[in-house]
Structure 1
Amino acid sequence: MAAENNDPVDPANAVTRLSDHPRWTESRRDLKHGGGDGTSGGMEARVKSLEDKFEKIDTKLTGIATDLAYLKGKSEGAPSAKDFGELKGRVEALPTTSKLATVIGIVGAIVAIVTKWADIKTALGW
């Protein structure tokens, strides 16, 4: 029993050479032909233009690589999340305004008592 051909392309209409394909002939229609210069008319100028553009791109990529290396170096020296967590804990442990006011009030009262001790003793009758 012969193998069944499930190919949807009709073998009678199959393209066997690339130059026979309709898209191939359409894309080559605009290219120069005849006259002896083939299809590369103006090719040198186009290649030179592309080379110049790629040189500019290469220069820009080199600059980008340098910038990325700089940023990588800066980020490696930056504090980690753990460092920020420790810093946050230390900041939260700092005294608040009300705590500072209380401490200043107590110190002021002690200083007042010490400087006026003689007057206080006399007033109390000691």
Structure 2
Amino acid sequence: MSNVHDIGTDLARLRSGLKSGDGGGTFEGMEARVKHLEDDMKEVKADLKALRSDVAELKGRVAMLPGYGGIAVIVGLIVALSTAAQIAARFLPPAG
């Protein structure tokens, strides 16, 4: 088998335009399609920028939440106050 390739056939095929894709099989409309894709990418980039801002805000909010130690302290205070109220209620005279 020969490694010789007829470039004339390839040139004729290329000069006739694209033979696949969504542009009707030609180079016509390529600029409009590329422009549309570029505009879409601008919108995607803008959306990504907004998402980054939202994620940064959420990170800030999560950082302000108490960790396990803070939750343990809060639960401990609730238990202590509840216990103190029950003990105080035993020493108060009945209402009425």
TM-score, normalised with respect to structure 2: 0.64
Residue of structure 1 equivalent to 2:52: 65
Q: Which has the larger radius of gyration?
A: 1
Structure 1 distance, partners of 2:20, 2:62, is 54
Alignment partner of 1:90 out of 74, 77, 84: 77
Residue aligned with 2:93, SS:
helix
Structure 2 distance, partners of 1:30, 1:54, is 23
Number of aligned pairs?
A: 78
Residue of structure 2 equivalent to 1:52: 39
TM-score, normalised with respect to structure 1: 0.51
Alignment partner of 2:65 out of 72, 75, 78: 78
User: 1:77 deviation in Å?
Assistant: 1.6
Deviations 1:53-83 (A, max 9, x none): 1111111100000000111111112111110
Question: Is structure 2 residue 87 aligned with structure 1 residue 104?
Answer: no
User: 1:29 deviation in Å?
Assistant: 3.9
Quick one: which amino acid aligns to residue 57 of structure 1? V
Unpaired runs of at least 5, structure 2: 6-17
Higher RCO (C-alpha under 8 Å, 6+ residues apart): 2
Backbone CA RMSD of aligned residues: 3.0
Structure 1 distance, partners of 2:20, 2:59, is 50
Unpaired runs of at least 5, structure 1: 1-11, 18-27, 33-38, 109-126
* Residues 95 and 77 (structure 1), Cα distance of their counterparts in 2 relative to 1, 3 Å cut: closer
